[in-house]
Each structure stands twice: as C-alpha cells, then as structure tokens.
Amino acid sequence: MAGTWGRLNIAALVLGFAFLYLPIVLLVIYSFNESRLVTVWAGFSTKWYVALLSNQGLMDAAWVTARVAFLSATVATVLGTMAAVSLTRYTRFRGRVLFSGMVFAPLVMPEVITGLSLLLLFVAINFDRGFATVTIAHITFSMCFVAVVVQSRLMSFDEALEEAALDLGATPVGAFFQVTLPVILPAVVSGWMLAFTLSLDDLVIASFTSGPGATTLPMKIYSQVRLGVTPEINAICTILIGVVTVGVIAASLITKTRDVQRRRDEQLAERI
C-alpha cells in the first residue's frame, strides 16, 4: 500500500523527468529549425529532413545499421535465451560460475575494452573486418542483455507447468517449445527489442570492429558531430528517436491491452 504521495515526491518526479526529457525535446524541436544555426530559432522547416534523403552516405550507413541490428538481435535472442535457460534450469554443470560471470560482465564492461579485445581477436585469426565482424561483436554483448531479461522472467516461471507437460507425456524438448517458450515469449520479444536498439545505438564497439564498407549510422553521426552541431544531425537523431519511441510504446501498448483483455476475461469468468 502506498503512503501519502507527498508534494515533495511529485516535485522530485517533475524535476527528474524534466531533466530526462528536456534535452531530447529541444533536440527534436531544433531539427525543424529553418536556420543553419542550431540554437537560433528562425521558423519552422522540414528542409533538413529532405536534405537527409539526398545524403547517400547517411542512407548507406542507415541500411548497414538496420541489417546489422536485425541480424545480431535475432542471433543474440536465440543465444541469450539458451544462456538464460541453462543458468536458471541447470544449476549444476562444470564451469557454471565462469559462465554466469561471462554473462554478467559484458553488462558493465567498458565498451572500449570489449571493442578493442574483439578487434584484436579478429586480427589474430586474420578475419577480414566488415559487416560480419560488427554483427558478431553486437551479438556478443547484446546476448548478455537478452539473457538477463529472459532469466528474470524464467525465475518467476512456475516449473510445475513444465512438469505437468512431462507428466502428460511431452518430451523435455517438446515441453520447452510447447509450454515454456510460449509463456516466456513476451520476455524473449522484449529481449530482441533491447538487442536491436543496443545494436542500433552502438558507436564504440562498432568503431573498433567495423571495416571498410561497413560504416554504421552512429559512426557516421559521430564523425559529423565532431565537426559541430548541425540541424541535419538533429533531424536524423529525431528520426531515430521517433522509430525507437514508436516501437517501445507500441510494444508496451500491446502488452497492456493484452493484460486488460485478460483481466476482463477473468472478471467475466468469475461472474459466470
């Protein structure tokens, strides 16, 4: 039960969210600025968005990024889910401590270290850097985020469900695909989304592991940001923010409507 929701609490939230959102909102607003001077408002314009479309380099980078993000998120989701299952279900196997260490460490590992070490690996085995190496690098760190998300869902999963499936004659493999996976699916999906955006956002690891012809969007943005703030960058940032925001809100709305529907069904079931 919540206590009194005092004025201080509300003030803390208002200030906190203002701090979190104001910079982003300003960035979005100034992407519609007529003037090239980003900080002087000169009227509404969408010309920077139009300019983006004719920027071939940026478009190429966006396409590379989208492919890397899709592929790495998909593989990372499979691997991360497997890791989560082995960590929650198989409590005893050789090297489990090392395994769980390797799953958690990338969450906090400075990106420069991860990036450098992967690059040196690729150089050591003479693997040409490019699309494949960026994808592998992204799979490696985002699978750990997927593992954590899925693991927390598996933790609250009632194992009796799986046991019931076994009792009714399903094989362990069948029980996993027919019972466990459908139940944890929302977590797996949000793990995929997380992996996708992590890949979409990554600059440091991509800079280390990418090669010629595989410049990602963040790398492109970064090289332009270093030259100064321009409305063009604001525009591309706004598009990226828009894509991610719409994705996240859509996903949470779907979950929410499903919850509401479910609660309504339950109430209906009670009444009958």
**Would you count residue 83 as binding another protein (CB under 8 A)?**
yes
**Nearer to another protein (CB atom), residue 52 or residue 82:** 82
**The residue count for the chain:** 272
**Nearer to another protein (CB atom), residue 70 or residue 222:** 222
**Nearer to another protein (CB atom), residue 26 or residue 164:** 26
Whole-angstrom distance, CA of residue 124 vs CA of residue 132: 16
Candidate list 58, 68, 106, 215; residue touching another protein; CB under 8 A: 106
Candidate list 62, 71, 137, 214; residue touching another protein; CB under 8 A: 137
**Would you count residue 109 as binding another protein (CB under 8 A)?**
yes
* Helices of type H across 90-130: 96-108, 111-124
Candidate list 59, 100, 186, 189; residue touching another protein; CB under 8 A: 100
**Nearer to another protein (CB atom), residue 50 or residue 120:** 120
Residues 6 or more apart whose CB falls under 8 angstroms from that of 157 comprise 180, 183, 184
Candidate list 35, 46, 117, 178; residue touching another protein; CB under 8 A: 117
**Nearer to another protein (CB atom), residue 68 or residue 221:** 221
From the list 24-32, 49-57, 181-189, 261-269, the region that binds another protein by CB under 8 A is 24-32
**Nearer to another protein (CB atom), residue 66 or residue 102:** 102
**Would you count residue 74 as binding another protein (CB under 8 A)?**
no
Tell me the CA end-to-end span of the chain in Å, nearest whole number: 30
Task: Identify the sign of the CA torsion 37, 232, 131, 77.
Answer: positive
Total of residues contacting another protein (CB under 8 A): 94
Whether residue 110 contacts residue 167, with contact meaning beta carbons closer than 8 Å, is answered with no
From the list 43-51, 55-63, 114-122, 260-268, the region that binds another protein by CB under 8 A is 114-122
> Is residue 132 exposed (0-12), middle (13-18) or buried (19+ Cβ within 10 Å)?
middle
**Would you count residue 66 as binding another protein (CB under 8 A)?**
no
Whole-angstrom distance, CA of residue 38 vs CA of residue 234: 9
Please, what is the minimum distance in Å from the beta carbon of residue 243 to another protein?
10
Range 239-249 burial, b when 16+ CB lie within 10 A, else e: ebeeeeeeeee
**Would you count residue 23 as binding another protein (CB under 8 A)?**
yes
User: CA angle, 237 as apex, 233 and 240 as ends, to 5°?
Assistant: 145
From the list 43-51, 52-60, 201-209, 263-271, the region that binds another protein by CB under 8 A is 201-209
Whether residue 48 contacts residue 31, with contact meaning beta carbons closer than 8 Å, is answered with yes
**Would you count residue 245 as binding another protein (CB under 8 A)?**
yes
* Helices of type H across the chain: 7-30, 47-53, 56-89, 96-108, 111-124, 131-155, 159-167, 172-175, 181-201, 204-209, 217-225, 231-271
Candidate list 45, 86, 186, 211; residue touching another protein; CB under 8 A: 86
From the list 48-56, 143-151, 181-189, 261-269, the region that binds another protein by CB under 8 A is 143-151
